[in-house]
Chain A
Amino acid sequence: MSELTYLEDVVSLAYDRNRCIGCGMCVTVCPHQVFALQRGRADMVARNHCMECGACMRNCPAGAITVEAGEGCVRGVINELLGIEGPCC
């Protein structure tokens, strides 16, 4: 089975390569191999596989990555659109 991919060009993942210190944490924590270490720095190699979990952003000591992380479920999005705090999964 090939890798499952959701919608393209929709994720909020942004990466500033100039701030990268090459520690490789983003490569380690990403469950979908969005980043790869190349020539001592991380490169975003599979942006469309990003599921916006936020693991890379939170674990980047250089603050080079930003992503609007959140819960990708219908209930969560409804709560968010209605602006309410509610139970999710």
Chain B
Amino acid sequence: MTISPSASGQLRFLPVARPGAGEVTFRLPSPDQPFVRGTLTTPVGKVPQVRAGLNLRDRLGSWLARWNIGRMHFTVEPGLYALGRPDEHSPVLVSANYKMSFDVLRSALPGRDLWILVLDTKGINVWCAAGKGTFGTLELLDRIQASRLEEVVSHRRLIVPQLGAPGLAAHEIRRHSGFRVIYGPVMASDLPRFLDNGCRAEPGMRVKDFPLSERLVLVPVEVMQALRVGLPLILVLLAVSGLARNLAYGRAVEVHGLPMALAVLAGILAGTVMTPLLLPWIPGRFFSGKGVLTGLVCFAGIFGFLRHRWPEQGLMESMALLLVTLTIASWFAMAFTGATTYTSPGGVRREMLRAIPLQAAALIIGLGLWLTALFS
């Protein structure tokens, strides 16, 4: 099936071009993947059959991805999979080829018989991929065709995660493939109840909240990404601090460099750990403002404890350290908007246009004061 020119006019807003725009070649995913336990013979060939349970290797992969290790290469092959022993009447669930998404889905459905159609989202989770359009109308149409799904199942229904909706138009899928999209719950863990309810969502299943547990799992990635910038910055600042006037290099690093390194780390701690965890309880709407508040707390905590180690530190240098902590905290708190479940691009744009000039000024003044304190 191909999309007619008149129909493609209605698909013009989709960011991804239909590759080749011609016939899609039939292809089943390789059974040679560690989570595949066998194959299921179907009218179109042997479909890989996956385990519902997660083993140590699956869990380790997810844990590493949470620490930003191998996260962009944590994928499964796109295409059709079987969970349990599905037949032509079994439901078809659509997912992304980020392995964590796929694992969350299959592990939520032990003892069930159903089909999983994995879209090629370039290893990105459903919601983010939907925002980018890779979890989208054209990809789903192509994947239906490439899997010859209409020969595998006799019904014409697809259960698509609700958070995939930004990427695809249910009415377009129906028009071009004959498959009716049923939007499933936000959370895969609600799928068993959703399926048992005859594919009806209870009210709470449609809402995306952002509880502490979900904010907590995001913290490691935020910390790792911040350190990728923060550690080189700290090394540069330590190297510069050694050149301070009137002191031997090593002693100068100890007296001026270490507090500055701590100031940077305090900012990262405030922006990437404290702000996400305490998010609903920190006053204010602007994330950059929340970061200033948590930055103040972290700065006061750390330097309150260690103040006695640098008795000769002057006011100018203390102010410099404070400004650096607040700026870094504010920046990384603002960056956390990208990971939340409720901030809008329009809001982030407005916040950035207001905050970045202030952050830049604070950083320049902070570093300026520091250099002045060290070298004059």
Contact = CB atoms under 8 A, between A and B. Distances in A.
A61 B186 CA distance: 22
Interface in A5-31: 5-8, 10-12, 25, 28-31
B365 interface: no
Nearest to A3: B209
Contacts of A25: 170
Contacts of A3: 209
B347 A11 contact: yes
B interface SS class: helix
B304 interface: no
Contact of A72 (B132, B201, B338): B338
Contacts of B170: 25, 59
Contacts of A72: 337-338, 340, 343-345, 347-348
A71 B345 contact: yes
Interface stretch (B102-110, B159-167, B239-247, B307-315): B159-167
Nearest to A73: B338
Interface in B144-197: 162-163, 165-171, 183, 186
Contact of B346 (A29, A52, A55, A88): A52
A38 interface: no
Interface stretch (B82-90, B256-264, B349-357): B349-357
B342 A32 contact: yes
Interface in A42-67: 49-55, 58-59, 61
A74 B165 contact: no
Interface of B: 124, 127-128, 130-132, 162-163, 165-171, 183, 186, 201, 206-211, 279-280, 285-286, 334-335, 337-352
Closest 7 CB pairs of A and B: A73-B338, A55-B165, A31-B208, A29-B165, A70-B345, A52-B344, A7-B347
